[in-house]
Each structure stands twice: as structure tokens, then as C-alpha cells.
């Protein structure tokens, strides 16, 4: 394969994009994965969060030159049919308002719970505080993370 080769939602892909292009735009423009959102473009809002080898990262700041051999998961690849415990809790609590920030919130929460399956409220707030929700759904986000942790 030519270009930068990495695993995307479980499948090996080769990107033809410029090597300094941020992953966010490669996902959207080249791979047509629109779940990952552009909010600020400077690492401040969390809307573009994906998993890089299981860790939550800001895809707007990540040039694909750094991705050779890495594993990327986007909201589209988190589970089959929205069955991840975090996605189920999100539905149960009815978290989203406009929905724009939500993929980023879910990707941050799922990576966090993988490492910290039984967090305190303070630890949840700490983990989630970098993900901005302009609709102010923070109370429901916290509730859903707690619910997912119990599952």
C-alpha cells in the first residue's frame, strides 16, 4: 500500500492525503466518516476526539504523518449498531441536545472508562472537562458516564 498506512475502525487503510493533513480532515474528506466533528481546530473543544491505540486524542491536531502502523477508532467504529455501554447509557439518559459535541464526548468517555471502569464523580468531571458542550448538557453527560461505568 502507498501512503500512510493505519488501521481505521478495524480495517487497514492507506491515506493518499498530504502527510501534514490533520486526521480530522482525512477522516471526513477521504474516508467519508462524518461523525467526527470540527469545532475549534485548535485542540480546545473535544468535538474531534477519536481513539488512537485506545487513547482519546484530538484529531484536529494530529497530522497523519504520525499514524503509520497506528490504530484509529472513530464513533462509527466504536461498536456495531450503537451497542457500546457508553452509547447505550447515552440513549437511556437522552443526553444530546443539538448533538454536535456528542461523538467527541462519547469517544472521550469510552476511552476513559476503559482505563478507569469505576470512577468517582470527580474523576468523571476531570476526564470530561476538556469536551465542551455549548448546549450545556453536562449534567446528563455525567449521569450517562456513571451509568455506563456500572454496566
The C-alpha angle 89, 46, 77, rounded to 5 degrees, equals 55
Judged by CB under 6 A, the number of residues near ligand FES is 23
- When asked if residue 48 is in the footprint of ligand FES (CB under 6 A), the reply is yes
Compute φ and ψ for 143, nearest 5 degrees. Answer: -60, -45
Comparing CA positions, the residue from 147, 39, 133, 53 lying closest to residue 91 is 147
Whether the CB-CB separation of 125 and 142 falls below 8 Å is answered with yes
Minimum CB separation of residue 23 from ligand FES in Å reads: 10
Sign of CA dihedral 43, 40, 55, 94: positive
Minimum CB separation of residue 2 from ligand FES in Å reads: 28
The smaller minimum CB distance to ligand FES, of residues 5 and 100, is found at 100
- When asked if residue 99 is in the footprint of ligand FES (CB under 6 A), the reply is yes
Out of 6, 15, 31, 46, which residue is the one contacting ligand FES (CB under 6 A)?
46
The smaller minimum CB distance to ligand FES, of residues 5 and 76, is found at 76
CA 57/CA 104 separation, integer angstroms: 10
CA 132/CA 80 separation, integer angstroms: 26
- When asked if residue 137 is in the footprint of ligand FES (CB under 6 A), the reply is yes
Comparing CA positions, the residue from 10, 13, 9, 34 lying closest to residue 24 is 34
The smaller minimum CB distance to ligand FES, of residues 28 and 58, is found at 58
Q: Taking contact as CB under 6 A, which single stretch among the options 11-19, 64-72, 98-106, 116-124 is the one that binds ligand FES?
A: 98-106
Out of 3, 7, 17, 43, which residue is the one contacting ligand FES (CB under 6 A)?
43
Whether the CB-CB separation of 68 and 6 falls below 8 Å is answered with yes
| Residues at the site binding ligand FES, with contacts judged by CB under 6 A | 38-41, 43-48, 58, 60, 96-102, 133-135, 137
Amino acid at each position: 500500500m502507498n501512503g500512510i498506512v493505519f488501521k481505521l475502525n478495524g480495517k487497514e487503510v492507506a491515506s493518499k492525503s498530504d502527510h501534514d493533513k490533520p486526521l480530522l480532515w482525512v477522516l471526513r474528506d477521504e474516508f467519508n466518516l462524518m461523525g467526527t466533528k470540527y469545532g475549534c481546530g485548535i485542540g480546545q473543544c473535544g468535538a474531534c476526539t477519536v481513539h488512537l491505540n485506545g487513547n482519546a486524542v484530538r484529531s484536529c491536531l494530529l497530522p497523519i504523518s504520525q499514524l503509520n502502523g497506528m490504530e484509529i477508532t472513530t464513533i462509527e467504529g466504536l461498536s456495531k449498531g450503537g451497542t457500546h455501554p457508553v452509547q447505550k447509557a447515552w440513549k437511556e439518559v437522552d443526553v444530546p441536545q443539538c448533538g454536535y459535541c456528542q461523538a467527541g464526548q462519547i469517544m472521550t468517555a469510552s476511552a476513559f472508562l476503559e482505563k478507569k471502569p469505576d470512577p468517582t464523580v470527580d474523576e468523571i468531571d476531570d476526564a470530561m472537562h476538556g469536551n465542551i458542550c455549548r448546549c450545556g448538557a453536562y449534567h446528563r453527560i455525567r449521569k450517562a458516564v456513571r451509568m455506563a461505568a456500572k454496566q
